Structure 1
Amino acid sequence: MFNKTSDQTAPPGGAPPARPSNTRSVFASDLKITGEISSVGDIEMLGDIDGNVTARSLSVGAEGRMNGTITAETVEVRGKVDGQISADSFTLRAAAKVAADVTYRTLIIESGAQVEGRFARHKA
């Protein structure tokens, strides 16, 4: 009379679905975060962060401000960053203001960017 039908959207074996690595999170300009942020995807920061960020990529917008440690494959800064940065690819846009110790594999600094700190290339 009543038959249980299987859920066609559930993964086989009842395992939880894998977290996608192509996700993008945007933090609005009116947002202030204090603490740790971790993502397997991309983060666009338009507000303020006091803390540490780990992500596949981080983009700090023109009005964005970050104070803490950044660990990401790709980091692009248009706003202000104070702290430490570890990235494979690090890009400073013309409006960027960075006071940080940076380790990188690839570095791009546009004319007009303000930089203070130590820069070191990742050892191969």
Structure 2
Amino acid sequence: MFTSKKTAPRLSVDKFSSLISDNLALSGDLEFEGGLKISGKVRGNVRHKAGSTSLLALSAGGCIEGNVSSHDALIDGSIVGDLVVEHLLELHSNARVRGNISYRQLSMENGAQVQGTLTRLDDQVQLQLPRPAPVAGEEAEPA
């Protein structure tokens, strides 16, 4: 009677300020701000400008060989390298990621493939906390 189905978070894509189309191959690192849509090939690191609310969209035919960072990301192509998404990551059905992924929120469709570790950013913060010093007379815990 009162059933409510949770819907997965979705990003709104209104417009992109930058585009690397499918007929373009780029070699070198790039930094972006706002929206970036990649349908072509990039060989180099792709990172968002620190402190910006950015959106990266990688189309099904798009490919990035390098480390990637963004505030939000919609991935439907392939990435060979580590991926860090500060907010919401959507891995669509054609997504292929060979590298470690760090994210805060994750939506993953059937068919998406990841070869690497998935780490939630909140968990990473807890892992970086130092261990408490042992109290006198107690044995230290093994590392």
Q: TM-score range by the shorter chain?
A: 0.7 to 0.9
Contact 1:23–1:40 (8 Å) recurs in 2: no
Larger strand share, 1 or 2: 1
Within 5 Å, which residues of 2 pair with 1:15-34? 24-34=17-27
Q: TM-score, normalised by structure 1?
A: 0.78
The amino acid that maps onto 1:44 is: K
* 1:99 match: 98
Contact 1:29–1:64 (8 Å) recurs in 2: yes
Distance 1:37 1:49 in 2: 9
Instruction: Summarize deviations over 1:80-111 as a string: whole Å, max 9, x none.
Output: 11101110211110111111111100011101
Equivalent position to 2:79, from 69, 78, 81: 81
Q: TM-score, normalised by structure 2?
A: 0.68
2:49 is aligned with 1:51: no
Stretches of structure 2 lacking an aligned partner (at least 5 in a row): 1-14, 49-53, 126-143
The amino acid that maps onto 1:30 is: N
The amino acid that maps onto 1:64 is: G
**Secondary structure of the residue that 2:30 maps to in structure 1?**
strand
RMSD: 1.4
The amino acid that maps onto 1:51 is: G
Distance 1:36 1:57 in 2: 17
Contact 2:16–2:37 (8 Å) recurs in 1: no
Aligned length: 103
Stretches of structure 1 lacking an aligned partner (at least 5 in a row): 1-21
Distance 1:119 1:76 in 2: 16
Distance 1:73 1:98 in 2: 17
Identity over the aligned pairs, expressed in percent?
26
